[in-house]
Structure 1
């Protein structure tokens, strides 16, 4: 069955059912609702489907659906089904691996935390060793401070209590004096530890404190070696450490693989101790019929299984890990909806392609499939009930034999050897029965030997302690041993000894490791410069010898709060005083960074962290304040330098206009800054994905970008990524050119990260395009000019070579002047007045009154680039004729050139009037080259008309050029074209 049918199955990569592995759970069982959204479900047992039944079901489905689907939807269904199934199994496999890793880490974290509390309880027991209840009450204040110092070292612990055998508190870490109220007799930890065969360490369910109202669970152990008279049952009170679930949940929350996962800490009996969601509770208790309880009762060490939540919840995938040496489990939960969402994201493109081809037939197939599955499920249910009842009986019989337990006679000869002893010591039943335990296990007894323990057992009926023994493989272990004397029910004479064992080797190793760790921590504090301190209510400071030096005081100075505050900068001193007032009123944890002024004028940054106890009398100082001080001057300097560097980088980036991108290749996560988003015109709330990137990329540039990425990701290459491409804005539709460069980082020969810069080069690209167009235009105009020069050379006539050179030079110079004027205007056109001034410049100054001169008058007119050269040639020929034969050839001659726009005809009219030149005796007999040039350029190229009249005072020539030619490009572009229209 697939996971979406609510079945329980072993995740891929796990071994079959057995200790430390996840077994296939019965389909349809009620789930362990470990998330806070739904209450714990009732037990609804449904047995597991056997492998034979599952195989038979699969064969039935294949036979019944083969003929229905083969002909019509075989190809699209196989492609779609295979892709979906591969994605489905991959998603579940990946989720199972992630949850298993998180469960391993959470179990390790929880085991270390609870082990610390157990060790702390042992330390409290050692602290009170040999003291009677009366002596503890007499020394309550002293013992309270020692317990308080111990509890502050535990991150999640909130209180510690020592109780006598009636449940009355003797001393507490958080209260002085402790209320004399019997408040523990109804707690499960008191009942468990007061009963015979009590465990070495007990973890209670979650309670609400009777004094402070906070929620907690207790880590407790019996008191030992007290000064009170020995008790018949060996119980003489207990040591209790209260642990708050919420801080413990905060530590577990950091171990989740995704934000949607949850972690719960649960006892083997289903009582929940902490969870990362709704950490404040109340917490549900998992019922006996739940999958979790079945795993716990079977002693499963690790399992990953599916579960169906109760009404109102949803299916979940759960990874379960048992804590070492404790009946407590860690469960890491991921909702099935999160896994399905990831799977759907992967298969959605496949569904979009294959679904239209098979949608109609799929509905019919599903109806048939549902009816067959219902029939098969009904048959499987009947078969599984029989198997389930047989398995339940087998589990009960096996569970009784799992505990390491042996029965010996009074001399120590084995008469019963449980399966738990087989696992603990390695000897089989046949090897152990009839053997002396002392010889078999090489037992080392406490002082007094076995006879002393036997005498104590005969006096009290039981004995509890530790023994050192040797396993079959030669490994030495430490066992927590509980001896109970069995008496003859008729005579009351001792019959045998029932002995239960617990392997304490790992606990003792952990205690030794903790001791070494504390020593290393002390050395590390000395090496790192951390200085511990305590401040009493009267302001006296108890600290390491290095504290005066941190505040710039001499080593001989006795540090006080006033002296230390006097060395602070004034703003920091005010903050410190305000903090002291707050701690005196409310207490709690604190953290403060401040500056200290040194004698040489320098300053030092210090960090103080710790915890304070409020003064109930309302004094100015806290009742107690303890913590550490660390010199953080170098860190502050580094932070300042880093901030300055970051600001310089930001300013440089803003000035350069760069955008920054970062692509995590294995995960596909893409990070863009604001400038990169602006290039694509993306809103801030839209996630950056590969789909969004490709949607904005110009289709013609996708192949170019794909080749650049392929080359950059090649491990044999330099890993450099450089490409220029176009981007279409998502909202404004604007096209932009982007130049991007980056570098790929490789790990073990595989690309893992691409980071780089991008820049908007749209302006540069447009400039390049304009320059290219301009170059083509220049090339075109140059060719035209050369063609005109060639025509001038071919048609020019003169009486002498010198005259020919002068004529050609003049005409070429006219073309060059037109070219220069056009180049100044970037070939967009030329001013008509500039063309006239270029030809008539010597006659426009009027330096001598009797010299020939020219006058120009007319509106601003811009001549298009393709019309400027022809018009310039016509003006040159008129000017040349005027200088040779007309008004500009003699003193007193006058040339007047005027032009105007004719709106009615949409034309430019240029009037050329000469006066004061030589008398014209006769009209010219024929047309020279100049006349032909004028007519050809004005009429042939510009589509205009030329009218020349030879008057007595000189030449009168009217040139009329249309503003645009019919069916052709515009001939003239006028500044006042709208007025002329």
Structure 2
């Protein structure tokens, strides 16, 4: 197709002026083409640098939130163990046995920290905020109470949270900054009513150790900064040096996210601490009132972009200068030809022929471009179209004689009208637009994602202005990036979570009987492996509750001999990926307890697992019932490690509540868990 071929006029004096105007159109196009290409590359490099920065801070925030969650889970398990050691003891007995209990608590605190981390402090306080015993200091300084510590005040009320994260303090004895995770002391021998406040147990983290861990997770070459923040805005630890007790400013964009309990977000903002502009990825630490921010300075992103510009403009600028020099020589020659009367007609014809050849070359460059390109005029006429445009969309060049024909085929009616209105505005402004990502419909009904750039390129001799639209098809790249990022996050998160749970089971399972220790740990790891296998089969989207329960009770569902000893009932439920392992572990511990002490320990005993979804209450309820087992007169006198796993997993990891009743005919256990933390969100099918 042609885009304004200049007619050859009979030899006359005015014809040289027409040729001069034509050269003034085409020469700037030829001179600026390398810069246009370099400019498009610069835009793409900028988007790539920004995308890499977003991926970097997102990974750092996810990894840091997972690190904080694992540290807090370890502290909760140590507090649970300390509660068990002190169960049934009065304050006077604890003080009298301080040497012995100090050694036991010290062993609990030192159970498995990394080689470069110090074990946490374990401190037990009475109702008056006086220290009773510690796993670190002997004897404890009990003469002076510490009621001013927030962890000695926050859990006194009837509606206090199960776990409290304290402010940072400087230790009275150690002189080291720390913050603590605190829970109420339970089952003491002081004779207080059930549920009444009877002191706390807290496990501390050195700020210096947490700072070192965040510094390892930060990317030093890009100047990343990672912070651990409390719900009130206090910064507990930061990968860069900061005074203890520092807070983010009231105008920080992180505070509204914390107040609204937003799980994750990415934004740009100015630090209230040092005033630096940064790209920030924000994450909530799962299950705890703590938050992570990973930030990268804008200067680091600009530096990455500037390094990518060197080869682009190192090639484009010399080419432009060479073409500019050539254009100046041609222009000078034109002026000389226009000034010479002799042989004017011959020279005008030669220039007309040269213009036609240049037009053909320019059209051939558009049509042969390896990416979709369109040259179109202000009146909507399409003057040149690349073959790659047609091959990607399925529309022939003859079908797209006008820009309106293209938008009518490529977009829904409302969007097509909007695109035409934007095209008119772009011609009126005369400035480049884009890059802009558009969803383009092809002839066969498929959707392609194009990154479109549009720029003015001069005007035709008849005055019609021209623009070039160029596109890069990023459909496959976008889909691959999304699949890869999702899979990498899920695999990383699940692997770390599984390893953390296995490590906790190994460290805290009682070891007084080696053979029993081996069987117990092996069974718990097998339960986790079953859950992990089901997650892998669904690519970490979740697992069917019935299939999970059948795996835990497989030995008791067989109809031979006699009737099944385990009965399952409930509607189809797809568990969320984050709930599969906790629910699997709870069912394993319930089944193990039934085999050892309950209905499955004797012939004829039966267990029933029923579940129901209550959308109005926002709950998933699981009901475990045993009958036909040994008769139960009262509740067991002590709580085993399996019971602690069930309660901690249900309350801390799943945010639910558990109710146990020891009836004469057997154990009845009901778990109520929030739907938003246990049920997988429905997947939306792609159109």
Q: TM-score, normalised by structure 2?
A: 0.43
With a CA cutoff of 8 Å and minimum separation of 6, indicate the structure with the bigger relative contact order.
2
Structure of greater Rg: 1
